[in-house]
Amino acid sequence: MDVPAVFLWVLFAVWGACFGSFFNVLIYRMPREMSIITPASHCPGCKHKISFWHNIPVLGWLFLGGRCANCKEPISISYPLVEALAALLGFAAAFLAEPSPWQSANLVKSISLFWLFLTLIPIFAIDFKYLLLPDTVTVGGILFGFALSFFEGSIGWLSSLIGIGVCGGGLFLFSVICSKILKKEGMGFGDVKLFAGFGAIMGSELACISLIIGALLALIVIVPYRLLAKKDMKSPLPFGPFLGLGAPVSYLFGKDIIWFFVV
């Protein structure tokens, strides 16, 4: 069935806001080793359960005037900001997949970009602060990419499976070798699983481009920051956000990048 792209723009924006609401839960609970399923959403202060109407992304916070309905304590503005950002990223995913509003939407491309864009939020929020990557994103990306590979217009299940093996196995092996040579922990296993997920979604070739882009971004940002802030150059660094940024860039422009350097 052909779906006009403009319909997907709106739908993905709404879905993005809903994902943003879930990410707020994930960002708060995952580093504290709390279940993301139970208990239901509640005020961190008085523990009062948040009703459905007050939990509507962005609008719920506005209805409440930024305060808990029960104890009237302020609710951080970060919650609606995350939801609004997720809505914007959801819209961007569908728009970049097909910018002509009345053309048929590219569903596989839209869904792939939706995942790659939206998961940047928990990757940035959690990895920068805690040096952790949630399995919801890493393992979820592997399962999501492989499931998507069975749909028409995808890279195909075999390419997805190869992408998982080559990217996950290759980065894990690289991490082990680096840890032996440098006598310290190499690449975190969360990064390995995240990269394997990118291989599942876009195949090993484009995923490797995302790794190169991520490594370059990390060098451009982290090294000057550590020098200016006088940080220890040997201390662990969060690579997930940079790898995550490289993924949608590679998905959209990776083939052009390969063509530019090869041809």
pLDDT digits (tens, 9 = 90+) for 136-163: 999 999 999 999 999 999 999 999 999 9
Last-in-domain residue among 55, 83, 118: 118
The answer on 139 and 250 residing in a single domain is yes
123 found inside a domain: no
DSSP 8-state symbol, 53:
G
Per-residue model confidence as pLDDT tens digits over 45-76: 788 888 888 889 999 999 989 898 888 889 89
Indicate the number of domains in the chain: 2
My answer on whether 190 and 242 are in the same domain is: yes
Expressed as residue numbers, the domain containing 183 is 132-263
Are 108 and 44 within one domain? Answer: yes
**For the chain, what's the residue count?**
263
pLDDT digits (tens, 9 = 90+) for 158-171: 999 999 999 999 99
Phi first, then psi, for residue 51 (nearest 5°) are -70, 165
What pTM was computed for the model? 0.91
Are 263 and 137 contained in the same domain?
A: yes
**Does residue 126 lie within any of the structural domains?**
no
Contact (Cβ atoms closer than 8 angstroms) between residue 98 and residue 106: yes
Q: Which residues of 83-122 are buried (b: 16+ CB within 10 A; e: fewer)?
A: bbbbbebbbbbbbbbbeeeeeebbbbbbbbbbbbbbbbbb
Last residue of a domain, one of 63, 94, 118: 118
209 and 137 in a common domain: yes
* pLDDT for residue 263 is more than 80: no
